[in-house]
A = this chain, B = another copy of it.
């Protein structure tokens, strides 16, 4: 036993070391390990094994496949699996029974052919449905399990086993596996997809504010040299906003499956998160364009840039501070504090006029590239504020 403890303490040390890097991943891994041990008990403890027998395999399979990083993903996969199994099992039983009736007329070969045809038709139809995007998004895994269960039950029936009993046993072990998953996933340090989505939205505002500030700073700095490394960090941050669509949609999809918890009620408006995310991606696209102007060969002379510096920076600060305020308000889930929109505020009006007057006076030749783009931020910002 001393050896065993040594191994265990060594493992804990290892976990601690990695834990500094990413705490939550380690917690998740440990939770999966615990769930696996729990489900293995179905094999390891004699009284439990007497009850479920070889079907314990299905419980293990369920835990391995269903246990996902976020609680919502686990629930969605588990429920999909359950529904797929019930539907597939039911229809499979039906097909097997029909084939049995047919067999009384046409003999064993006829029965095999009937089962093959049913397998073909249901398999092909379910596969076709799986390819439809709206179904794929939510029920892909359910359809997969449906095909699997239908096929297994239908052909097992051919082997003369008592399929209804078999299907019932498997379903009950799958349910056990699912319960173990839900238990370990939801009740100990749960990772909620809804929290993830919430934080990712908040961080998007912050990232964009940072990128805009960085852009302005780089543009108006008086020396010509540009620090490479620094620019790249923020480059990645707004790009991550730009390409966040798929991840956001997956999270929103999982968040919908999650029960009431913390600050999120049932029917929480996840679609609004997606819409705000969409607008922020458009803003990120503008930042990207802005960045490209900075890297363009055609640059206005430094003296011109310096004249435009003040109003531009004022406007940049205004935009960034509003983004940060919004991020803070969303994070704390309260209403936007300012009574007036940023567009009715005096600051913006005067800054805008200032900028225009500066432009009108100094506009010549190669100017165009810069200011057009700060202007471009308006329409998007307008959307965000409404």
A190 contacts partner chain B, Cβ-Cβ < 8 Å:
no
A292 to chain B, nearest CB (A): 5
Q: Do A60 and B148 touch across chains, with their CB atoms under 8 A apart?
A: yes
Known: A69-B131, A285-B288, A296-B378. A124 touches B33 (CB 8 A): yes
For the complex, is A231 an interface residue (Cβ under 8 Å from B)? Answer: no
User: Is the Cβ of A33 less than 8 Å from the Cβ of B243?
Assistant: no
- At the interface, yes or no: A125 with Cβ under 8 Å from chain B? yes
Q: Does A90 touch B at the CB level, under 8 Å?
A: no
Is A373's CB under 8 angstroms from B124's CB?
A: no
Which one of B29, B45, B128, B379 lies within 8 Å of A125 (CB-CB)?
B29
Query: Is A266 on the interface with B (CB-CB < 8 A)?
Result: no
* CB-CB nearest in chain B for A246: B246
A361-372 interface code vs B (CB 8 A; 1 in, 0 out): 001111111111
**A117 interface residue, CB < 8 Å from B?**
yes
Q: In angstroms, how far is the closest chain B Cβ from the Cβ of A73? A: 13
| Interface contact B33-A127, CB-CB below 8 Å | yes
Residue A328 at the B interface, CB < 8 A?
no
The reply on A261 being an interface residue by CB < 8 A is: no
User: Which A63-112 residues sit within 8 Å CB-CB of chain B?
Assistant: 64-65, 69, 112
Q: Does A165 contact B (CB under 8 A)?
A: no
Distance of A4 from chain B, by nearest CB (Å) = 7
- Cα A307 to Cα B51 in complex, Å, equals 86
**Contact partners of A378 in chain B: CB under 8 A:** 296-298
Are B36 and A131 in contact (CB-based, < 8 A)? no
Inter-chain contact A33/B65, CB cutoff 8 Å: no
Interface of chain A residues 221 through 239 with chain B (CB within 8 A): none
Min CB gap A112→B, angstroms: 5
Checking B34, B148, B359 against A64 with a beta-carbon cut-off of 8 angstroms, the contacting residue is B148
A152 to B36, CA, bound (A): 10
Within the assembled complex, what's the spacing in Å between the Cα atoms of A359 and B359? 13
**B364 with A372: CB separation less than 8 A:** no
CA A144 to CA B372, docked complex, whole Å:
51
CB <8 Å contact, B296 and A292: no
Given A29-B131, A296-B375: A40 in contact with B144 (beta carbons within 8 A):
no
Bitwise interface map of A from 4 to 23 toward B, beta carbon under 8 Å scored 1, else 0: 10011001000000100000
Separation in Å of the A206 CB from the closest CB of chain B? 20
Tell whether, in the assembled complex, residue B380 and residue A292 are in contact, meaning their CB atoms are under 8 Å apart. yes
Are A37 and B120 in contact (CB-based, < 8 A)? yes
Contacts of A152 in B (CB 8 A): 57, 60-61
Return chain B residues, CB-CB under 8 Å to A341.
Answer: none
Contact indicator A282/B288 (Cβ below 8 Å): yes
Scan residues 195-242 of chain A and give those whose CB is less than 8 A from a CB of chain B: 242
Query: Which residues 280-301 of A have a CB within 8 angstroms of B?
Result: 281-282, 284-286, 288-289, 292-293, 295-298
Known: A242-B285, A243-B245. 20 other contacts (CB 8 A): A25-B128, A28-B127, A29-B131, A33-B120, A34-B120, A40-B115, A40-B116, A41-B116, A60-B151, A242-B242, A285-B285, A296-B379, A297-B379, A298-B375, A363-B363, A368-B368, A370-B372, A372-B373, A373-B373, A373-B376
Using a CB–CB distance below 8 Å, which chain A residues touch chain B?
4, 7-8, 11, 18, 25-26, 28-30, 32-34, 36-37, 40-41, 43-45, 49, 56-57, 60-61, 64-65, 69, 112-113, 115-117, 119-121, 123-125, 127-128, 131, 144, 147-148, 151-152, 154-156, 158-159, 242-243, 245-246, 281-282, 284-286, 288-289, 292-293, 295-298, 356, 359-360, 363-373, 375-376, 378-380
Q: Which 4 A-B pairs have the closest CB atoms?
A: A372-B372, A33-B124, A285-B285, A43-B155
